[in-house]
Structure 1
Amino acid sequence: MSTVLLVHAKGGPPLGHVLARAAARADLHLLALSELPPAVAASAGSLCASVVAPDDAERHDLVSLIVSRAEAVGADAVLTFSEYAVVAVAEACEALGLAGAGGAAGLARDKRMMRHTWLRAGLAQPEFRAVATRDDLREAAAALPYPMLLKAAWSAGSTAHQIISAPEQVDSAWRCSREVMAESALLGYAELHVAEADAHFVVEEIVTGATEEWFEDTGWGDYVSVEGVVADGVYHPVCLSGRMPTVEPFTERASITPALLPDDLQERVVALARDAVDALGLRDCGTHTEIKLGPDGRMWLIETAARFGGAMTVPQIEEVFQLDLVGMLVDHLLGRTVDWPARALGPGDARGAAGSLVVLAVDGDGAAWRDRRDWDFAVVRDAVALSEGSALSVVPESSLPDGSTVPVYEPAGGANTMAALCLLSATDARTVLRDFTTLVRALPEVLPPATDATAPSPSPSPASTPTVPARAPRSSAPTPTRPRPAAEPEGIPA
């Protein structure tokens, strides 16, 4: 039987899902760069031939560590599903002569290089500037129109995103984003291989999105993601996932599979995703490409990753389209024949629908909850009336334990301030969207009041201003605030 080394770090699909499917295809060895979620720690021992957690000294040269471990177990393939380990694993595969994302993996990780690559290819994207210092940001802010978005070049999950609405916010946004990246690194949400990655940023214009021309129903967010894979350098789109509107600045709240786009519009989106992936020159890896939808048929590339979508994207695809993407990628990396979809699958190919909802302490308009609440999935399941045929569950490894106080949402913290991740299965995507809207509205009412009397009360922050995705924030937008990461569920980059 073939041997596979899986490099685990924060983020990506739930580890339990990945382990079960990879172990069914090969003898599986696990190199754990992040602590295993308690919910899967026990099963890892039974599913894996070995589980190794290196100490800090061993991680100093991550590529050499991966190569050494792969050679020790006789790995025929090495892979990761974590955004933070993509580059290191790609370089290790190159050194080992194994199939992998290839030398271009960094282009799908560093938002600065990604945007420069797309600029040279003439692809539609927001205007941008790379920044490395506060003076760089000041210079860029003088050239781009307000409002603009400051991003950490190597972040995920909307961590350290800052909307800058006026010149007087530039310095505080820079300070805040640097602090957020430092705190994220302490929580394990940071690039593991590239030195000084936390000092790299990009600032870009905020393009105006629109949904009316793309979706028949209201309530959808103004961007979609194209899930796919590159096999032997050939891009294979798999399907599209839709979104609910983001929470300010651009934190993802929910992903829904499939996206309800008409066939002709889906084909246009897929064509742009193909151009984006082809321009990067990836070789063998999953892909996750986010695209902003605008008026008059306009689209802009947000970003591409050289790995499958995080959170529950992969399990959703398996449920809706009966495709085990983890197992299929393992098979491909091992040199086995894989029948990838001949085209991107759409609503007409789906069996029902599925979606994942990130629990954040903000209501449907993006305003902070009036008071603190404790997370309790059983209460939510029993108290919120969903559509007939809908089934709601919680993802334990990506959620705080019941009884934990829901963290105050901090815009710059992005997904770092999540409390839980819920999965919903329903008859169709419209029902998922409707049920998620019901859940978001009900959560601050049905969850029990916080029992921790020392927990700070919500304070005014950018989250208290209703968010209008892809539009200019109100001129009175507050100065960016420093987040207080309080949650410790497994990180889930989108």
Structure 2
Amino acid sequence: MKRPTILVVYDDGAARPADIAVGLAEWANCVFVVEPNDHNLTMRPLLTQFGQVVVVDRIDRAVEGLRALEPDGLVTYSERTIVLAARLALELDLPFHSLDLCERLTDKWQQRAALNAANVDVVRCHRVGHLSDWDAAVAETGLPAVLKPAQGGGSRNTFLITDAEEGRRGAAELLALERPGLLAGGTLVLEEYLRGRDCGPFGDYVSVESLVLDGHVHDVAVTGKLPMVPPFRETGRFWPSPLAEEEEDRVRDLARRAVTALGITLGITHTEIKLTPDGPRIIEVNGRLGGGMNYLAERAMGVNLIELAARAALGLPVQVPPFYRGRTHFHIFHSTPRRPGTLLGVDGVNVLKTIPGVTLYRPYVRAGYRFTGEVQTQEIDIVLGAVDDLADLPPIVEKVESTLRYRFAFSTGEIEVNGRELGQL
């Protein structure tokens, strides 16, 4: 049987090059399609170990070269590349999200407008393209509200606004940035703050991981979350969720209705949902694999979501995994501080590995790594593990947070903190 050729439109995102290779390289010919940015140029030598690399400097030239390769399908695992993937798919006549759909998936204001119009979940939202839009935005959403880039990801530059004048100053600072979100010159949105209910010791939100085939939405799992650290940075995820089955069913129904209303007919979706006193509310729908979800699926179910997404894109048979309700598998991770500095080292890793339930510690950066201090979920490391009972997870989180110690150098001097304290930096 002829090996299919699949275009992987690559950038920094939910799947790393080695993970893509594990999921695809044994059964498909991978062609990595990349834009010439710093991350992709740095990763290019690694990508070439797993497949051909095509750099897109101009769409027309790229399409001509890609067409000659006779690709059978196209997929992306990065928020940054969804629109580029759609443009290439259109030119190459390959199945993918339409350009209109991609606008709804990557522009948070357009997505809210579509969900509001479909009466799936009505959340007040206003675009802030210029500072002159600020007063109207506050009048529309009220306070508190959430200010964030219209095109963003990873909680980048996402802030809680409780005071109109402080918010105006914050909006001015973000609008002055060359790249407030994922796009140069991108705009902002101000949206109604969805106040969560008390879900301690877990976070007040979940996500729904789904596989969409021929317009039919198949849920794979509902992902539980650990509490965020300021302002909206994630700290951990786990399967299955802590929700009772009845509430979980409501969450899944809301996610399916949102995915359907946006017009998604193919691929993997990652829908974030807030748990409020009045019931579940949509945070956002992502038309791609969620970060870390492939690791959870592999360990919990032995299923590779990277592979499933590619098989769906190629029109190959896909065996839909049963909805996950098994043993608790977890990820605990730590983000870089919100001010620029240098990581000097991480201590306690050897002790960490002796904690029952912990199976793996994976660093993402090494000592000497310089971080810019941008507000976003930028992982320093991740702790993976599994327990038989969800009730055993909170004590493990506490042990992990007290065991790991992080040393940083800032302009004001050196500092050492544990995992819990790191979240406040």
TM-score (norm: length of structure 2): 0.87
Distance in 2 between residues matched to 1:164 and 1:354, nearest whole Å: 31
Structure 2 CA distance for partners of 1:236 and 1:65, relative to 1, 3 Å: farther
Distance in 1 between residues matched to 2:192 and 2:203, nearest whole Å: 19
Q: Which among 286, 289, 292 is matched to residue 271 of structure 2?
A: 289
1:72 maps to 68
Structure 2 CA distance for partners of 1:65 and 1:243, relative to 1, 3 Å: farther
Which amino acid counterpart does residue 29 of structure 1 have in structure 2?
A: V
TM-fit CA distance, 1:86? 0.5
1:301 maps to 282
2:355 maps to 387
Q: Which among 398, 412, 420 is matched to residue 380 of structure 2?
A: 420
2:242 maps to 260
Structure 2 CA distance for partners of 1:385 and 1:22, relative to 1, 3 Å: closer
Distance in 2 between residues matched to 1:263 and 1:4, nearest whole Å: 38
TM-fit CA distance, 1:41? 5.8
Counterparts of 1:462-473 in structure 2, within 5 Å, are none
Distance in 2 between residues matched to 1:40 and 1:17, nearest whole Å: 13
Structure 2 CA distance for partners of 1:332 and 1:66, relative to 1, 3 Å: farther
Distance in 2 between residues matched to 1:144 and 1:333, nearest whole Å: 38
CA RMSD of aligned residues (A): 3.1
- 3-state DSSP class of the match of 1:9? coil
Distance in 2 between residues matched to 1:436 and 1:408, nearest whole Å: 27
Which amino acid counterpart does residue 46 of structure 1 have in structure 2?
A: Q
Structure 2 CA distance for partners of 1:437 and 1:37, relative to 1, 3 Å: farther
Contact 2:352 2:358 in 1 (8 A): no
Contact 2:270 2:287 in 1 (8 A): yes
TM-fit CA distance, 1:430? 4.3
Counterparts of 1:224-263 in structure 2, within 5 Å, are 224-263=206-245
Which amino acid counterpart does residue 282 of structure 1 have in structure 2?
A: I
1:165 maps to 162
1:314 maps to 294
Distance in 2 between residues matched to 1:253 and 1:433, nearest whole Å: 13
Contact 2:273 2:282 in 1 (8 A): yes
TM-fit CA distance, 1:222? 0.4
Q: Which among 311, 314, 319 is matched to residue 339 of structure 1?
A: 319
TM-fit CA distance, 1:199? 3.0
Distance in 1 between residues matched to 2:231 and 2:224, nearest whole Å: 18
- 3-state DSSP class of the match of 2:400? helix
Which amino acid counterpart does residue 309 of structure 1 have in structure 2?
A: G
- 3-state DSSP class of the match of 1:198? coil
- 3-state DSSP class of the match of 2:185? helix
Q: Which among 13, 23, 26 is matched to residue 24 of structure 1?
A: 26
Contact 1:144 1:205 in 2 (8 A): yes
- 3-state DSSP class of the match of 1:46? coil
Distance in 2 between residues matched to 1:435 and 1:113, nearest whole Å: 40
1:402 maps to 367
Which amino acid counterpart does residue 98 of structure 1 have in structure 2?
A: L
Distance in 2 between residues matched to 1:118 and 1:92, nearest whole Å: 27
Structure 2 CA distance for partners of 1:374 and 1:179, relative to 1, 3 Å: farther
Counterparts of 1:102-113 in structure 2, within 5 Å, are 102-103=98-99, 104-113=101-110
Which amino acid counterpart does residue 87 of structure 1 have in structure 2?
A: V
Counterparts of 1:144-293 in structure 2, within 5 Å, are 144-180=141-177, 182=178, 190-191=182-183, 198-212=185-199, 218-293=200-275
TM-fit CA distance, 1:433? 4.3
Which amino acid counterpart does residue 17 of structure 2 have in structure 1?
A: L
TM-fit CA distance, 1:23? 1.3
TM-fit CA distance, 1:39? 10
Contact 1:320 1:354 in 2 (8 A): no
1:480 maps to none
Structure with the bigger RCO (C-alpha within 8 Å, sep 6+) is 1
Distance in 2 between residues matched to 1:359 and 1:27, nearest whole Å: 35
Percent identity of the aligned residues? 24
Which amino acid counterpart does residue 381 of structure 2 have in structure 1?
A: L
Distance in 2 between residues matched to 1:205 and 1:159, nearest whole Å: 18
Distance in 1 between residues matched to 2:86 and 2:382, nearest whole Å: 31
Structure 2 CA distance for partners of 1:69 and 1:340, relative to 1, 3 Å: farther
TM-fit CA distance, 1:122? 0.9
Structure 2 CA distance for partners of 1:113 and 1:239, relative to 1, 3 Å: same
Which amino acid counterpart does residue 268 of structure 1 have in structure 2?
A: R
Deviates more, 1:149-158 or 1:353-362: 353-362
2:305 maps to 325
Q: Flag structure 1 segments of 5+ consecutive residues without an equivalent.
A: 192-196, 213-217, 363-367, 468-482, 484-494
Structure 2 CA distance for partners of 1:316 and 1:65, relative to 1, 3 Å: farther
Which amino acid counterpart does residue 324 of structure 2 have in structure 1?
A: G
Q: Deviations over 1:332-363 (max 9, x none)?
A: 22221112135xx233xx3451314133449x
Q: Flag structure 2 segments of 5+ consecutive residues without an equivalent.
A: none
Contact 1:357 1:436 in 2 (8 A): no
Which amino acid counterpart does residue 356 of structure 2 have in structure 1?
A: E
TM-fit CA distance, 1:385? 6.7
2:93 maps to 97
TM-fit CA distance, 1:97? 1.7
TM-fit CA distance, 1:190? 1.9
TM-fit CA distance, 1:132? 1.3
- 3-state DSSP class of the match of 1:21? helix
Distance in 1 between residues matched to 2:41 and 2:348, nearest whole Å: 23
TM-score (norm: length of structure 1): 0.76
Distance in 1 between residues matched to 2:414 and 2:143, nearest whole Å: 32
